[in-house]
Each structure stands twice: as structure tokens, then as C-alpha cells.
Amino acid sequence: MISVKDVSYTYMTGTPFEKTALKNISFDTAQGEVLAIAGHTGSGKSTLIQIVAGLIKLTSGAVEIDGLTVADKKIRRLVGIVFQYPEHQLFEETVERDIAFGPRNFGLSEAEVSARVEEAMRQVGLEAGLKNLSPFELSGGQRRRVAIAGILALKPKYLILDEPTAGLDPLAKENLLRELFGTVKRSGVTIILVSHNMEDIARFADNVIVLAQGEILFKGTPRELFAREEILARAGLEPPPITQLLRKLNIDEQALTLDEAEKIILKRRL
């Protein structure tokens, strides 16, 4: 479990550019859940996940991951983080070598490294025949999958995804999300999804935290969130299209999927 207690963070303390990014943030994750962190640009989302991943030194509050503090180097084997546009970090000559880079640095045998590469490629929907190609010969969506596979090959217990579909075309986005929240989630990995896309959160998140100006405005389920128009407005977020449609039809009920919305609308017509 990831446990975040009273975490605050200020950049450039004691200078004219001092800025508080987080204020008294507290939350826990449940094993195997998808927790979404939503908020507009500048809300503190990126700072928070970097603290959880141990990339920014904690100065106030506490973060524990399976009983370990984030200062403990052992958490590097527990937490994997995928930043926006992770394909910019690809550098090896082949897809296989890029995905294998992390496991090799962990000192695993070549047989184990090879097995992890194959498994990670399956998890993100990459064909085995691509492994000997240069990642730079692939499409944008395929490169994104290679970068994510490199994190999954480390077998993290917790996976942090920072806007994982940013910049992808609709088809590539849909295919990637289907793999991440199908194959990967079924493996038991706890996922923290950072996004401002309410449609993705409605479809995939079990719970959601909304940040605004470094503070938590809301903690609960997506269905509970979409019933709180004032929270979305304060956070500068748009409700998902399904919610907007039901509101235009003067229907107060909440739907997270098209099937749910269809049933609600048909029930009203009968």
C-alpha cells in the first residue's frame, strides 16, 4: 500500500521565487486499484507523483510504500513511473535492448531479462517481430508502448502513469488504454493515473483525487465526483461527454459508460 500523510512541498524556499506546490496532502491506495489524480496544469499533480516515486526529496509529511519510506532505495523495485512522452527517453539500437535496459541494470540473468522483455511486450500489445527493429522506425504509438514496456519489465508493484496517452491519435490512445487497463491491471499492479481527461477517469479509475493549487478538493469515486459540478468547476476540469449529454437532457443520474447512459435514457422514455 502507498500511504501519503500530510505532505507539503515548496519550491525555491527562501527566495523571491518561492512557491508552494502541495499543501497537507493525505491519501492511501488499495492493492490492485486504479487511483486517478486529476487537476489542471499547475495543480501539483507532477510534484506529487515525483515525491511518491522518490524523485523529489520529501521535506514535510511522510510517504510509505509497503512500510518503506521513500528515502529507502528498495522502493525503486516497487514503483515504476511513466512520464509524459516517455518515448523521448528511448536510446538503444533495438526495441529488445531498450526494454531490457532496466532489468539488466538490476543484475538479472540474460534468461530472466529475455523472459521479462517478452512478457512486457505482450502486456502492451507489441508484436514479437518488432523486437529487433530500431524503436525510431516505429510509429508514435508503438514507441510509447516500447517505453512503457521498459518500465513494466522491471515488474513494479505500483505503476504511475503521467498522462500516458498525451499526443497520441485516437486509435493509438484507445489501443494503449485497453492494454494498460486490461492486461496490466489484471496482473495485480496498483496503478496511479495522472490525467485531466475525465472520460478516461470515468472508464478506468476506481477512485479519484482532484487537486487545485496544491490542495485536495475531492476524494472519492468518479461517479461521486461527476455529481459535484462545483468541484469540477473549481478545478478547471470538464465533465466527461456522457455526463454533459445527460445534463443537456435534464437527467440528474450519473453514467460512466455509454451503456449506462443508454439504459438511463431508455428508462426515461418508457
Going residue by residue through the chain (270 aa), what tens digit of pLDDT does each one get?
999 999 999 998 888 888 899 999 999 999 899 999 999 888 999 999 999 999 998 889 999 999 999 888 888 889 999 888 878 888 899 999 999 999 999 899 999 999 999 999 998 889 999 999 999 999 888 898 999 999 999 999 999 999 888 888 888 888 888 888 887 878 889 999 998 888 899 989 999 999 999 999 999 999 999 888 899 999 988 888 888 888 888 887 777 777 777 788 877 765
DSSP code for 151: H
User: Which SS3 state, helix, strand or coil, does residue 85 take?
Assistant: coil
pTM of the model: 0.88
Instruction: Tell me the C-alpha distance between 208 and 38, whole Å.
Output: 7
DSSP code for 189: -
The conformational region for residue 163 under phi > 0 = left, psi -120 to 50 = alpha, else beta, is left
Q: Which superfamily does CATH assign the domain made up of 2-236 to?
A: P-loop containing nucleotide triphosphate hydrolases (3.40.50.300)
Nearest-10 crossing angle of helices 140-152, 170-179: 20
What is the residue extent of each domain of the chain? 2-236, 240-270
